[in-house]
Structure formats: C-alpha cells, structure tokens
Amino acid sequence: MRVTRPRVLMAVIAALLLAYAYALAPVTTSGGGATAAPSDAPTEAGPGTVLSVGVDGPPFPLAADLFPPAGKAFIGVMTDKGPYDFAPVDRFAAAARRAPQVMLFGVGWESGTFDRSLFDRVRDRGMLPMVGWEPWDYRVDQAARKRTKLTVRQIDRIRATQPTYRLSRITGGEFDSYLRSWAEGVKSLGYPVAIRFAHEMNGDWYPWGDKANGNRPGEYVEAWRHVHDLFERAGATNVIWVWSPNARWSITTGNLDQFYPGDDYVDWVGATGYYGTGAWSRYSSFDAIFGPTIAEIRTFSRRPLVITETGASNAGGRKAQWIRETFQALPKHRDIIGLIWFEVDKEMDWRIVSSRAASTAFAQSVAAPRYDVRWSPDLVPRTELDG
C-alpha cells in the first residue's frame, strides 16, 4: 500500500482521537479509589442522552432524533371518529399504502375534560396526538345543522355566538381551573402532544373569531398567551403549540400578523384550506389556495409550517388531479414539514377512499421517500426551519 500525505494525516487524526477517548474514559468510584468502567458496560446511548466527558467537564449532549427529520414531511389524518374508533384510520392507511404519523382530533371545552386514554390510544398506534382544542360548546353547532332551512352562513352566525366563550373571559381567568386540569394531564403523559388551539381565528364562524361573539382586536393574542403561560407555569413543557389560521380567501380579510402570538409562543405555524368549496369552488391549485398565506406567514414567523387541514372534493371530476399536483408542489416548500388530510364525508366527501382514482393518486404521491417518516414518543419535535 502506497503511503500518501492524506493517509498519514488520517493516521495522525485517528491516533489523536484514540488518545483523547482513552484520557476521557468514564470512571466509577468505589470507596476512595477510582477504577475504570467495566469492559462490558453499555456503550450506546439513546437520543438526547447526556454523557459525561470527565469528572470536572461539562455534559456533552448527543444530537437528538427530530420529528420529522430534515428534508422529510409527515402525513397526518383527521377522521370523524377520532381516537374512539380507528376503523377510518385503517381504511385511510390501506388506501394510502402508508400509515399516518399524526392524528388530529377535536375536543370542545364544554364537555372535553382531559382523558389520558385518548392520547395513549393515538400514541400506541404510532401517531403523534394533535388535539384541536376548541373553546366552545359544539352542541350549538350540531343543533343548528339539524334545522334544515338554515343557510351555511346562518349556521355560522349561530354557532359563533356563544358569550360564555368570549376571548376576554379566557384571558380574565374564568377557565383557569379547567386549563390547569388539562395542563396537569398533558404534563403527566410524558411524551410530546400537539395542541392546535382555537384554529381559523381569522374567520367569523367560531366563537373565538376576531370578528365574532363580541370579541375585540388583540384579544385572540391575549387569550393564546394566557393559555400558553398557564401550561408553562404548570410544567407542561411537552406541548407543541400549533397556530393555524384559515388560508386567506380574500384580500379584504385581516392581516394575519395581528392574530399571531409570536414565535416565543408558537412551535408550528399552520394553515387550513380545501379545494372544492367557498372561494376555491372552481379548480384551484395548492399554491393558489395556500401560496399567499404561506408567503404572508413568512413575513412574521420562522417556525416550521404544517397544512393542518386539507382535502379535495371531486368537483368537476378533478380530485385525483388535485392530489397529484399538490404533492408535486409540496417539495418546493421546504418549510412545510407535514400535511394532515381531512378524511371525512361532511358536506362534501373529502376522503381519499371515496374513489379508486383518488386513493391511487394519494398512494403513489406519498410513496416518495420524502414521506417515509416514523413517529415515536422519544423523538423531539422539529421547531426550527432547516438551514
């Protein structure tokens, strides 16, 4: 073997590293003397483990495994059954030929006491639990929908008018005992949980909307910070705080920065948008629906972005096309770390299982290595943008 300068340099480096490792080998003490660690001591450490590099030296943290890894994006799902029945999730996974790594489910404050079993069921299925935590009485919405002569906008106004859940009452401490019960419950889980608190705040169809229910400008941010700070004081630091407006459907809607609590209070930013309804009833691409909102968010936040709800109707027979084009567009948005599909037949059939064409388009799209992601409770949520 010919000896070259690079080979000599490599040999020198190897020797130095070997000497360094020997000098800093961990020791155990017994009585007054020090003895070398036994040769059969474990040499592997899990993610985030801190190893000692000497008796008087500082700890050296190993790099933690992140969720999702750099260059990857997760696939999530929301069903009408939530953690109470996983049959819709199983059908979604079979159609997608890939198991989702995140499950979004909703909990309303009126009847939503903390229930650990819901989170553990999701965890046990290999999915990060993301709860859509909604300060309202959802039964008002259900009752309004049963009144067949009401228009969609009339239903919106009815369900959004719930004075008990005005934002000022949240900030004023009226719900603090309830919030503390949740903070203590989430803390006790011991693994990461995502909370999407009071989503689509830039609309007027929920009681927490900026222009609904007697709320005033600035109160949404105050309520968010109040809830966040209460969790922090309770030690519930395992929360991934998800801020998620509706995608901007009109230039006349308020600027999103007025609803943003700040990067110190948010871990993931998000957006909700669907093809086949409202402003996007006619064919609209992913970038047409989400592009302006993503660009606006990037003017005031550097947090990773999740499409927290999306779906497509088969309006004009173009559902499969929309799915394919959406997943073709996603890699261009390096700041998007996940997409959650609304797998529900509600008002329209948004499910991928609604047709073989939609299922095939989705399965072929998420077969890309970009979506080859797993979640487990020991993974650390990615809260910074790559690069």
Identify the pLDDT of residue 62.
42
What is the model's pTM? 0.83
Instruction: Tell me the CA distances in angstroms from 237 to 177, 186, 259, one per residue in order.
Output: 18, 9, 23
Which runs of E-coded beta strand occur in 58-192? Answer: 59-61, 66-67, 74-78, 102-108, 128-134
pLDDT < 50 regions, the chain: 1-63
* Beta-strand relationship, 66-67 and 59-61: unpaired
Identify the pLDDT of residue 311.
97
Separation CA 216–CA 165 (nearest Å) = 13
Identify the pLDDT of residue 279.
65
Identify the pLDDT of residue 253.
74
* Beta-strand relationship, 102-108 and 74-78: parallel
- Read off the pLDDT of residues 131-148 as tens digits, 9 standing for 90 and up: 999 999 999 999 999 998
* Beta-strand relationship, 66-67 and 380-381: parallel
In the three-class reduction of DSSP (H, G, I as helix; E, B as strand; rest coil), residue 168 is classed as helix
Taking the mean position of all CA atoms in its chain, how far away is CA 300? 19
Separation CA 105–CA 102 (nearest Å) = 10
Among 36, 100, 33, 43, which Cα is nearest to 73's?
A: 100
In the three-class reduction of DSSP (H, G, I as helix; E, B as strand; rest coil), residue 93 is classed as helix
- Read off the pLDDT of residues 199-229 as tens digits, 9 standing for 90 and up: 999 999 999 998 999 999 999 999 999 999 9
Q: Omega of the bond prior to 68 within 30 degrees of 0, cis?
A: yes
Residue 108 makes CB contacts below 8 A (sequence gap 6+) with 134, 135, 136, 137, 138
CB environment 348-368: b (16+ within 10 A), e (fewer): bbbbbbbbebbbbbbbebbee
Question: One-letter amino acid identity for 24?
Answer: L
Identify the pLDDT of residue 252.
67
